[in-house]
Structure 1
Amino acid sequence: MKNLDIKFQVIFTLCSLFFVLNFQSQDLQSYIEQATENNPTIQKFELQYNIASEKVNEVNTIPNTEFGAGYFVSEPETRTGAQRFKISIKQMLPWFGTITSRENYISSMADAKYEDIVIAKRKIITSVSKSYYNLYENKAKQKVLEQNIKLLKTYEKLALTSVEVGKASAVDVLRLQMRQNEMAELLAVLNQQFLAEQTTFNKLLNRDKAISVNVINKLNIPSENFEINVENLAVHPELLKYDKIYQSVEKSELLNQKENNPMIGFGFDYVNVAERPNMSFTDNGKDILMPMVSISIPIFNNSYKSKTKQNQLQQQEILAQKQERKNRLETILDQAINNRISSRISYRTQTKNLKQAKNAEEILIKSYETGTIDFNDVLDIQELQLKFEMNQIKSIKNYYLQTTIINYLIQ
């Protein structure tokens, strides 16, 4: 039943996570599903939960039955005969409801472990998404660099033509070539960074690091943000875990009170008696069977009182930890919301600047037709275009990274 709940929660989280994306993002969703199935961190927490659940069967037991046997080396004589050996059986039973309290306590501990699975799945979804968007940013920047290198080669041809007719200097050509070399270097560096990030991504999916990752070609910032229900933060699994740990301490105290009660024991002693020779009377050689009842009373119960005090202090600690974590999550959520707004503002600004840079480029090209062109201006405009395009890509990536963080916190 728990596993089924986990599956439903993952599907719900995935649907919420990709609400802001278009159909092109199906590749990322399939990667996330693969990661939640194969990631060893999730498998580790699932195994820990299964172990904690199995412990319920471990505590559903009563104390061991005690068997004893003794042989009389020197046989004591009684009226009915000599006692030869003795057998005893004894079974202690905990106070009524103690075993049930143990089961409830262990079950509450298992419930807290269950939240670790939900948290781990959310974190894996977040990690996979972040890595994916890093790969997208890298690929997008590589494409921009390739386009700019082609553009510079076109400018280089114009410069060579201008040199031939005496309208430009050979220095202009060299500057354009040096700029191409810088971009080629940056492109090579980005390619190596992509391979490193690809390894990170593949290991999150628990697969070979060399497997190629398909990244979508284009991401756009939606015109409107999806609704953010901040109240959902109150039921975040990281906070629910503290509630369940608190409940487990309550169950621990109930168990402590039960174990502070007496234990009752039942059993019997059997004594084998030999017949007295050359005598005939009633009960000659009759064995002895003696039923027994015992009680174990915790007279010195300071340990139980200390346990009660510890449980009270632990509950206070859990409440403080929960409040501390809640404050931290609220801070992270507020930062993510504001950072996402900032990313949208930055994207709009870079788009506007890029459009103006392209207009300036067109003016320079038209000036070439009239016989004049300043290749220093060409390099300046090209550098600005590259800067704006890179910042635009960065803004898109940051927008989706902040969206991923928001979804981790409120979905």
Structure 2
Amino acid sequence: MKNIKIIICLLFVSAEVYAERRRSTKAHLNALLIMSIGLISISGQAQQLQSYIEEAEANNPEIQAFELRYNIAEEKINEANWLPNTEVSAGYFVSEPETRVGAQRARISVKQMLPWFGTISARENYATSMAEAEYVEITIAKRKLALSVAQSYYGLYETRAKQKVLDENIQLLKTYERLALTSVEVGKASAVDVLRLQIRQNELQQQKEVLEEEFSAEQTTFNNLLNRDENSTVDLVVEMKIPENDPIYGTDALSLNPELLKYDKLYESVAQSELLNQRESLPMVGFGVDYLPVSERTDMNPIDNGKDVLMPMVSVSIPIFNNRYKSITRQNELRQQEIETQKEQRLNVLESAFAKAISQRNQARIKFNTQSKNLKQAKDAEQILIKNYETGTIDFNDVLDIQELQLKFQINQINAITKYYAQSAVVNYLITQ
């Protein structure tokens, strides 16, 4: 009769364990995966990853610094609209030269040099091209920041998911501990089995506490990316799953990466610099006027006696003996060649990073599928062990081994999921327009 009660108790506890597992498996929020960076929309109070990225872009000091650099570059467009200083000179004749209509007392000159036609427009175009290059730098910085925020977010999710799995396994070990205590009472197990189960619980609790320290450090990193209080709470999605199919990308999409577009903008800026150089190598034209006040003659009264002199002038500045502009042209040619080689090298780097990210994402999917199969088989083995308890042949060493395997497979699953999304974030950084 006592054995029957034990068996009934055991079956009840086992049923409770598996019912709890089924409930925990079904209890998750539906996640909508937007692109490969994993911008996850979730219901309830959890905030979208996209909103964190937008908050980081609005508050991050590095982005603000890049925007200020862009504002400076834009202001240089206004700076380009300038003319050489107007020259004003004045002189007084100590010894007044006599003329027919009187003595010249002083001389006042005003002259304005003007660049050749189109020079000012060339300056503005060059400043505009430099501003566009700075704007691309902002785009690159924002994409890198989004990648950092996403990867930190996935790191936080990974830690929390592992803690959840550890909690489940601790509760499972407590259930086994109760079974072992019951078995000790009827002579089916020894106190050593109970101690082993307790030791295993202690180990899992230690792992959980270590993960909490990791979470705290990663949370500080995440909040610093958003430039907010390091202790601010981060809302995490409850559960993430690998989608059935991956979007297909080709390396052609890399051509739209801002890291490559930056070289196109730099190349264009050098081209505009050369156009400006050609304009500046042309003559400058000056217009001016000289004014000479004249004193009236007292010894006679000729026509136009004491009439002041007003003399308009035109001048031309010709860079005849100046090799500066030829040297600048050669420098611009070399600079364009340098930019082309830099772009080619950067494309090779991005293609390698893209291939590596795709490969690692595929590896994560393979590992996840394998761990899912292993986890199912481990649960089947656990069920067999529980059923064997009815015959009195349960071995708690085998139970611990199976539990350790299950935990290993669950942790590997979480690692595979976070690796999948982390690599998807890299893919998104590389190819998204």
TM class by smaller structure: over 0.9
Question: Which residue does the alignment assign to 1:158?
Answer: 179
TM-score by length of 1: 0.93
Deviating more after overlay: 141-150 vs 22-31: 22-31
Q: Does 1:38 align with 2:94?
A: no
Instruction: Give the 3 Å change call, closer, same or farther, for CA 170–382 of structure 1 in structure 2.
Output: same
CA-CA distance at 1:229 after TM superposition: 4.0
Contact 1:49/1:110 (<8 A) preserved: yes
TM-score by length of 2: 0.88
Q: Does 1:171 align with 2:192?
A: yes
CA-CA distance at 1:366 after TM superposition: 1.7
CA–CA distance in structure 1, aligned partners of residues 39 and 67 of structure 2? 30
Question: Which residue does the alignment assign to 2:126?
Answer: 105
Contact 2:40/2:49 (<8 A) preserved: no
Which residue type is aligned with residue 377 of structure 1? D
Contact 2:39/2:50 (<8 A) preserved: no
| 1:145-224 aligned within 5 A | 145-224=166-245
Question: Which residue does the alignment assign to 1:241?
Answer: 262
| SS at 2:293 equivalent | strand
Contact 1:52/1:109 (<8 A) preserved: yes
CA-CA distance at 1:277 after TM superposition: 2.3
Question: Which residue does the alignment assign to 2:332?
Answer: 311
1:138-159 superposed Cα distances (whole Å, 9 cap, x missing partner): 1100000011111111112222
Contact 1:97/1:258 (<8 A) preserved: yes
Instruction: Give the 3 Å change call, closer, same or farther, for CA 246–31 of structure 1 in structure 2.
Output: same
Contact 2:157/2:237 (<8 A) preserved: yes
Q: Does 1:269 align with 2:290?
A: yes
Contact 2:110/2:290 (<8 A) preserved: yes
Which residue type is aligned with residue 101 of structure 2? T
1:12-46 superposed Cα distances (whole Å, 9 cap, x missing partner): xx954567856558621221222222222222222
Q: Does 1:375 align with 2:389?
A: no
CA-CA distance at 1:378 after TM superposition: 1.5
| SS at 2:104 equivalent | strand
CA–CA distance in structure 2, aligned partners of residues 37 and 20 of structure 1? 18
- Structure 2: stretches of 5+ with no match in the other structure: 1-32
Deviating more after overlay: 174-183 vs 227-236: 227-236
Q: Does 1:62 align with 2:83?
A: yes
1:242-282 superposed Cα distances (whole Å, 9 cap, x missing partner): 01100111111111111111111110111111112243221
Deviating more after overlay: 351-360 vs 229-238: 229-238
Which residue type is aligned with residue 138 of structure 1? T
Contact 1:339/1:402 (<8 A) preserved: yes
Question: Which residue does the alignment assign to 2:137?
Answer: 116
Instruction: Give the 3 Å change call, closer, same or farther, for CA 17–392 of structure 1 in structure 2.
Output: closer
Contact 2:37/2:426 (<8 A) preserved: no
Which residue type is aligned with residue 172 of structure 2? L
Which residue type is aligned with residue 353 of structure 1? N
Which residue type is aligned with residue 134 of structure 2? K
CA–CA distance in structure 1, aligned partners of residues 260 and 50 of structure 2? 26
Question: Which residue does the alignment assign to 1:286?
Answer: 307
CA-CA distance at 1:104 after TM superposition: 0.8
CA–CA distance in structure 2, aligned partners of residues 320 and 239 of structure 1? 12
Q: Does 1:231 align with 2:252?
A: yes
1:222-253 superposed Cα distances (whole Å, 9 cap, x missing partner): 11112324321112111111011001111111
CA–CA distance in structure 1, aligned partners of residues 34 and 386 of structure 2? 48
| SS at 1:273 equivalent | coil
CA–CA distance in structure 1, aligned partners of residues 292 and 226 of structure 2? 69
Q: Does 1:333 align with 2:333?
A: no
Q: Does 1:398 align with 2:426?
A: no
CA-CA distance at 1:168 after TM superposition: 2.2
Q: Please, what is the CA RMSD of the aligned residues?
A: 1.8
CA–CA distance in structure 1, aligned partners of residues 34 and 176 of structure 2? 47
Q: Does 1:361 align with 2:361?
A: no
Contact 2:80/2:120 (<8 A) preserved: yes
Contact 2:40/2:50 (<8 A) preserved: no
Which residue type is aligned with residue 54 of structure 2? E
Contact 2:97/2:103 (<8 A) preserved: yes
Question: Which residue does the alignment assign to 2:98?
Answer: 77
What is the aligned-residue identity percentage? Answer: 64
CA–CA distance in structure 2, aligned partners of residues 16 and 219 of structure 1? 14
CA–CA distance in structure 2, aligned partners of residues 22 and 258 of structure 1? 55
Which residue type is aligned with residue 62 of structure 2? T
Instruction: Give the 3 Å change call, closer, same or farther, for CA 17–342 of structure 1 in structure 2.
Output: closer
Deviating more after overlay: 215-224 vs 23-32: 23-32
Q: Which runs of 4+ in 1 moved over 3 A?
A: 14-26
CA–CA distance in structure 1, aligned partners of residues 328 and 193 of structure 2? 83
| SS at 2:277 equivalent | helix
Deviating more after overlay: 16-25 vs 103-112: 16-25
Aligned positions, number = 398
CA-CA distance at 1:73 after TM superposition: 2.5
Which residue type is aligned with residue 354 of structure 2? L
